[in-house]
């Protein structure tokens, strides 16, 4: 007896129908219903158990990332490494057959560039830097989820238009250690600085063949460190937080938690600079006022969403 299988959805549930070819049953009414199996549940169970394993073994909260995207990317890793289920991947990570770095390469995207969205950096230079320059003290900034460092160096270069380099203190972090290694070295292809004013390139980079290297004077403004926006503690009293193109990866709940904590990291009067797709719908909920399209200023120390409640 041979059977072919098809899936059908009825009453909001998936059913596996196996049609018996030998006895010529066909059609839903006469279908030879061999088994009821909601496949989504199995996959979800597999994924949920995988995320628990990863959280326990590596302290990474995969559930904070948008499920469809993260599953698609991790499914690509499974296929490449020949794993049938996410749990197989989890076991391979526990045994060391798949490294944390390889996993992190697939968890999120690390694309970045110097002065990404240049108009928004011009806004920052025009509206934020002059205010920071009047402080007459070192400014404390955080480039959160900085990837390979271009964003942190762009911030330092922008601030250098109004502040002396020793007054610029940038803490630049990412969850992925491999990108931070690149950032700390500060070596990039010449093409990556092609859009920058020539005088800035000369002042802040040394040319080495087809590459440029960040000069020590600029490099000293930035301190790189590993930090997980979902699970680690946040600093406080900052003048500037730049967190761009990272929030988009998180679930709405995680995004709100991260955003709330980023805002709590700012002193009153401090500035938050977000990515092109991360505009904040009701900034006042977070104690923020909008300065320009992607830049906000903290005006209220007691926002409607508190860091404590966002932490659960
Ligand atoms: C698309 S890149 C954005 C880089 C840079 N901010 C920019 O806008 O050009 C996203 C970065 O977020 C980092 N990331 C993802 N999840 C993170 C987390 N939980 N904590 C800190 N960084 C995270 C990734 O490692 C990646 O380098």
What is residue 265's three-state secondary structure?
Answer: helix
Residue whose entry in the numeric block shows the structure tokens 């700390």 = 184
Asked if 86 and 26 sit in the same domain, the reply is: no
Question: Per-residue pLDDT tens for 112-126?
Answer: 999 999 999 999 999
pLDDT for residue 260 is more than 90: yes
Question: Per-residue pLDDT tens for 170-202?
Answer: 999 999 999 999 999 999 999 999 999 999 999
d(C-alpha 280, C-alpha 296), whole Å: 9
Q: From the CA of 28, how far away is ligand 1's center (Å)?
A: 48
Is the shortest distance between the CB of 239 and ligand 1 below 6 Å? no
Asked if 98 and 152 sit in the same domain, the reply is: no
Specify the residue with its C-alpha closest to ligand 1, atom 3. 245
Asked if 58 and 207 sit in the same domain, the reply is: no
Asked if 266 and 135 sit in the same domain, the reply is: yes
Is the shortest distance between the CB of 246 and ligand 1 below 6 Å? yes
Asked if 251 and 126 sit in the same domain, the reply is: yes
Q: From the CA of 144, how far away is ligand 1's center (Å)?
A: 7
Ligand 1 pocket mutation pick from 108, 121, 275 by most atoms within 8 angstroms of CB:
108
Q: Given this model, what pLDDT does residue 308 score?
A: 52
Helix axes 100-107, 177-185, angle to 10 degrees: 90
Q: From the CA of 147, how far away is ligand 1's center (Å)?
A: 6
d(C-alpha 5, C-alpha 22), whole Å: 14
Closest CA to 234 of 250, 252, 258, 253: 258
Helices (H), 59-168: 67-81, 86-95, 100-107, 118-127, 129-133, 150-159
Q: From the CA of 173, how far away is ligand 1's center (Å)?
A: 9
Is the shortest distance between the CB of 261 and ligand 1 below 6 Å? no
Asked if 68 and 92 sit in the same domain, the reply is: yes
Asked if 297 and 229 sit in the same domain, the reply is: yes
- Let me know if residue 63 belongs to a domain: yes
d(C-alpha 96, C-alpha 101), whole Å: 11
Specify the residue with its C-alpha closest to ligand 1, atom 11. 145
> To the nearest 10°, the Cα dihedral for 51, 55, 61, 66?
-10
Ligand 1 pocket mutation pick from 174, 188, 251, 294 by most atoms within 8 angstroms of CB:
174
Domain housing 101: 49-107
Q: From the CA of 200, how far away is ligand 1's center (Å)?
A: 26
- pLDDT tier at 25 (50, 70, 90 boundaries)? very low
Phi (first) and psi of residue 269, to 5 degrees: 95, -10
- Let me know if residue 165 belongs to a domain: yes
- Let me know if residue 112 belongs to a domain: no
Q: Given this model, what pLDDT does residue 309 score?
A: 52
Closest CA to 231 of 53, 65, 48, 49: 65
Asked if 25 and 164 sit in the same domain, the reply is: no
What element of type H or E holds 177?
A: helix 177-185
pLDDT for residue 206 is more than 60: yes
CA-only gyration radius of the chain, Å: 25
Token pair for 235: 């600093």
- Let me know if residue 42 belongs to a domain: no
- Let me know if residue 44 belongs to a domain: no
Q: How many CB atoms lie within 10 A of CB 151?
A: 29
CA distances (Å), origin 164, targets 128, 138, 168, 173, 272: 15, 9, 7, 23, 22
Asked if 81 and 126 sit in the same domain, the reply is: no
Is the shortest distance between the CB of 116 and ligand 1 below 6 Å? yes
- pLDDT tier at 24 (50, 70, 90 boundaries)? very low
- If one counts the domains in the chain, the total is 3
- pLDDT tier at 45 (50, 70, 90 boundaries)? confident
- Let me know if residue 242 belongs to a domain: yes
Q: From the CA of 180, how far away is ligand 1's center (Å)?
A: 11
Mean pLDDT of the chain: 88
Q: Given this model, what pLDDT does residue 27 score?
A: 39
pLDDT for residue 33 is more than 50: no
User: In whole angstroms, what separates CA 125 from the centre of its chain?
Assistant: 24
């Amino acid at each position: 007896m041979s059977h072919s299988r098809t899936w059908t959805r009825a009453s909001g549930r998936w059913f596996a129908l196996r049609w018996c070819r030998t006895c010529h049953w066909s059609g839903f009414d006469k279908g030879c219903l061999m088994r009821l199996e909601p496949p989504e549940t199995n996959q979800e169970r597999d994924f949920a158990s995988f995320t628990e394993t990863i959280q326990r073994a590596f302290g990474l909260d995969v559930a904070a990332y948008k499920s469809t995207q993260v599953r698609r990317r991790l499914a690509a890793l499974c296929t490449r490494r020949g794993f049938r289920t996410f749990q197989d991947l989890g076991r391979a990570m526990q045994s060391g057959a798949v490294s944390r770095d390889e996993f992190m390469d697939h968890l999120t995207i690390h694309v970045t560039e110097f002065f990404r969205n240049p108009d928004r950096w011009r806004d920052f230079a025009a509206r934020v830097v002059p205010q920071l320059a009047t402080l007459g003290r070192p400014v404390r900034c955080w480039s959160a989820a900085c990837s390979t460092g271009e964003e942190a160096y762009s911030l330092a270069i922008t601030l250098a238009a109004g502040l002396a380099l020793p007054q610029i203190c940038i803490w630049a972090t990412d969850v992925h250690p491999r990108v931070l290694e690149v950032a700390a070295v500060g070596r990039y292809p010449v093409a990556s600085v092609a859009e920058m004013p020539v005088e800035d390139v000369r002042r802040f980079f040394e040319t080495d063949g087809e590459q440029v290297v960040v000069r020590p004077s600029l490099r000293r403004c930035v301190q790189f460190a590993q930090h997980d926006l979902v699970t680690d503690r946040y600093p406080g009293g900052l003048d500037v937080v730049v967190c761009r193109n990272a929030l988009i990866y998180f679930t709405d709940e995680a995004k709100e938690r991260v955003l709330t904590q980023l805002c709590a990291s700012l002193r009153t009067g401090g500035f938050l600079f977000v990515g092109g797709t991360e505009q904040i719908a009701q900034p006042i909920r977070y104690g923020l006022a909008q300065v320009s399209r992607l830049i906000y200023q903290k005006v209220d120390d007691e926002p409607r969403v508190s860091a404590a409640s966002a932490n659960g």
